[in-house]
Amino acid sequence: MGKSTVASNLALALAKTGARVGLLDADIYGPSIPRMWGTLNQKPELNDARKLVPLERFGVKLMSIGFLIDEDLAVVWRGPMLFKAMDQFLRDVDWGELDFLLVDLPPGTGDVQLSLAQKVPLAGALAITTPQNVALTDVKKAIDMWTRVSVPILGVVENMSYFAPQGMAGEKIQLFPKGSLEGYLKEKNFAKLGEIPFHPSVGVGGEAGIPVVESHPHSTEAQAFIDIAQKIQQTVH
């Protein structure tokens, strides 16, 4: 559903406002932040206090299990190890003073999510979905989990919402069947913070290690991320 893409571009959009931003890749089994930010094979250093120093790129501080292990190696851990890893990423990393710490979570409603909710006060959770109902089903479960652990829902972002062909002003092509997201949001009184259009530059940016908000800051897709970031700022401050 593009959680890492959305998290990366929102982190950049927030940083471009002058905010101090950190991005924590909490997908222990499938970390993608190192590749998406062009930081593969880079290792964080330890400072004098024996804390990990986040890597920094485009003004955003980054931390991921992918900085500590080889990209091709599988992480085979049970729940207690995940709890310990999350604790270390939160307590043993020298994040410094931050205005925002974005956490890129794995799919589902498992140990990492629960560990995060238990260990730190959260300003809110942002749900990412694509238009079809098969994606919305997972989002509903995630929102239910965050609600049960008393974490506010900031809103929902619809990723790959449509495709706008060049030379066809105002034309929007639906790549996925439109599901019942709008009705669900109205029923639950949740906000739809924005729609991210599908565009090859978004995927290329992730592959090249330069997210689209940095590589094409004036594009329609980058502006969509920037608009969502502004709404998040207004919500949490």
Radius of gyration of the chain (CA): 18
Tell me the domains of the chain and their CATH numbers.
3-234 (3.40.50.300)
In order, the DSSP letters of the chain are --HHHHHHHHHHHHHTTT--EEEEE--SSS--HHHHTT-TT--PPB-TTS-BPPEEETTEEEEEGGGTS-TTS-----HHHHHHHHHHHHHSB---S-SEEEEEPPSSSSHHHHHHHHHS--S-EEEEE-SSHHHHHHHHHHHHHHHHTT--EEEEEETT--B--TT-TT--B-SS---SHHHHHHHHT--EEEEPPB-HHHHHHHHHT--HHHHSTTSHHHHHHHHHHHHHHHHH-
pTM of the model: 0.92
Residue that has been written with the tokens 């639906």 in this structure: 174
Beta-ladder partners of 101: 22
Asked if residue 21 lies in contact with residue 61, where contact means CB atoms within 8 angstroms, the answer is yes
Tens digit of each residue's pLDDT, the chain (237 residues) = 589 999 999 999 999 999 999 999 998 888 999 999 999 989 999 999 999 999 999 999 999 998 987 777 677 667 777 778 888 898 999 999 999 999 999 887 778 888 888 888 999 999 999 999 999 999 999 999 999 999 999 999 999 998 887 766 667 888 888 889 999 999 999 999 999 999 889 989 989 999 999 999 999 999 999 999 999 999 887
Closest CA to 199 of 166, 229, 235: 166
